[in-house]
Amino acid sequence: MSEASTKPATTAKTITQRFRFCPNGEEWAKREILRDLIKEYPVKNAIIFCNRKRDVAILHKSLVKHGFNAVALHGDLEQSARTAALDKFRKGEAALLIASDVAARGLDIPDVSHVLNFDVPFHADDYVHRIGRTGRAGKSGVAYTIVTSADHKAVAAIEKLIGTTIPPAPDMVAPAAAESTDEPAPRREPSRGRSR
């Protein structure tokens, strides 16, 4: 079958998908946006995905420091630690599960209200698996993804794969500069002169 005739991957219609733009792309700024998302919206529980195991540990430590009830899950943890983290999350003893893509597939975690992508996944199909953790069995779910100007190509690949445009969060406006470059947006106002 040719690529042109391949059907888009489907995401459940019960999932509200949004992007949240991080203007400077710095990790501390993304952590601040994530904390705001958790506070702004009625997050009963959430799986928060990071691309790297070390980022899972850093984000977990940061969220706990800021008073959030969170556990971590990634491939380098002992099986007993993984099981304990999942049990706490399933029982509602921890509201947030910070995870690598080890939690995107094959885990039975029912009734997850939110999926929050701290990082845009490296591969578009991982996005579909990640957000598929919410909006299951006919229940509604919400998936937010924090994006930076460096994520333009990955976002375009996701939207091509799922066959739809994912809108920005209602309270944000993605700058046009993010659509035209893979470099981080400059901190000063862009000139009105010719483009390079």
Per-residue pLDDT of 104-152, as tens digits, reads: 676 778 789 999 999 999 999 999 999 988 887 778 899 999 999 999 9
Amino acid letter, residue 196:
R
Comparing 103-112, 161-170, 183-192, the range with the smallest average pLDDT is 183-192
Q: Which two tokens stand for residue 27?
A: 């990790």
Amino acid letter, residue 76:
D
Q: Which two tokens stand for residue 29?
A: 């700024």
Per-residue pLDDT of 37-49, as tens digits, reads: 999 888 899 999 9
Measured CA to CA, the distance from residue 33 to residue 42 in angstroms comes to: 15
Phi, psi of 73 (to 5 degrees): -145, 120
Q: Which two tokens stand for residue 6?
A: 């391949």
SS3 sequence of 81-104? HHHHHHHHHHCCCCCEEEECHHHC
